[in-house]
Amino acid sequence: MASNGRPEQGCALVTGSARGIGAASARALAADGWPVLVNYRSDAVNATELVEAVESGGGRALAHQADVADPAQVEELFSRAEDELGAVLVLVNNAGVRADGLAPQLKADDWQAVLDTNLSAAFHTTRRALRPMLRARFGRIVNVASIVGPRANAGQANYAASKAGLIGMTKTIAVEVARRGITVNAVAPGLVETQFTEGLGNGLADGIPLRRPGTPEEIASCIGFLASEQASYVTGSVLTVDGGLSA
C-alpha cells in the first residue's frame, strides 16, 4: 500500500471519456497519479488528444475503443488495462446516451438503447471491476447518474429510468462490498455544458439558483473526491451537483 492508503499498482478506467465529463474526469484522476485508460466508442480523435494531453503533463494514459454495452468488449477493455496499466482499481461509469421523446411516441429501440448503455453497461463494467478490487481489498466506483433520475423531466422516460436504476444499483452494490474496502458512489449532475446537452439549455439556466450551467471540470472534481482516499468513509451516496436546482 502507498502512504495514502491506496495500492501502489493499479489504474483508473473512465468509460465514455473522449470528451465532456468523462474527459475532465480522466484528467483529474491522472493529476492524482492514476494511470488512466480512456474509453471511447467512436470519437478516436478526441480520445487520442486526451491521451497526449495527459502524457504531456507527466501522466500515463492509453485509449481503447469499446462499446461498453457489449460484455465481450468490456472484457477486452479490462484485459487491455490489466496488460498495460495494471488492475482497474478506480472505475468511473460515465458512458451515456440520450434518445428523447414523449412516452407515447418513444420507440422500443430507443428505450432499449438508452437502458443498455446507461445502466446495463455500468453493471457489466462494475461486475468485471470488482474481481481485482476484491482481491486488493481496495476500490473506488463512481457512477455518473443525473438529477433526472429522481426528478421528472418530460420527454426522457428512458433516460430517467436508466439513471434512477443506476442510483439504485449504486446503493445496493455499495452495501455488498463495503467490508472489502470498496466504495461505490454516484454523482448526479444537473445541467452541464457539454456536447451531450446541446439543445437542452435554452432557458433552463434561468431556473437554476446559481443562474448558470455547470462545467465538466466541476463535476470531475466531485468524481475525483469520491475516488480519493479522503472519501474512504463515503459509500452508497449520491452527490448532487446541480447549482441548487433540486434544493
Strands of 139-144's sheet in order across? 61-65, 36-40, 11-14, 88-93, 139-144, 182-189, 238-241
Exactly one of 77, 159, 184, 224 is catalytic; name it: 159
d(Cα 175, Cα 187) in Å, to the nearest integer? Answer: 17
Nearest to 70 by CA among 129, 120, 115, 22: 120
Q: Active site includes 159?
A: yes
What secondary structure letter does DSSP report for 156? B
Q: 106: exposed, middle or buried (C-beta count within 10 Å: 0-12, 13-18, 19+)?
A: middle
Give me the phi and psi of 137, to 5 degrees please.
55, 40
Cβ(37)–Cβ(12) under 8 Å? yes
d(Cα 59, Cα 138) in Å, to the nearest integer? Answer: 22
What secondary structure letter does DSSP report for 148? T
Nearest to 184 by CA among 121, 90, 74: 90
d(Cα 225, Cα 38) in Å, to the nearest integer? Answer: 19
List residues with catalytic annotation.
159
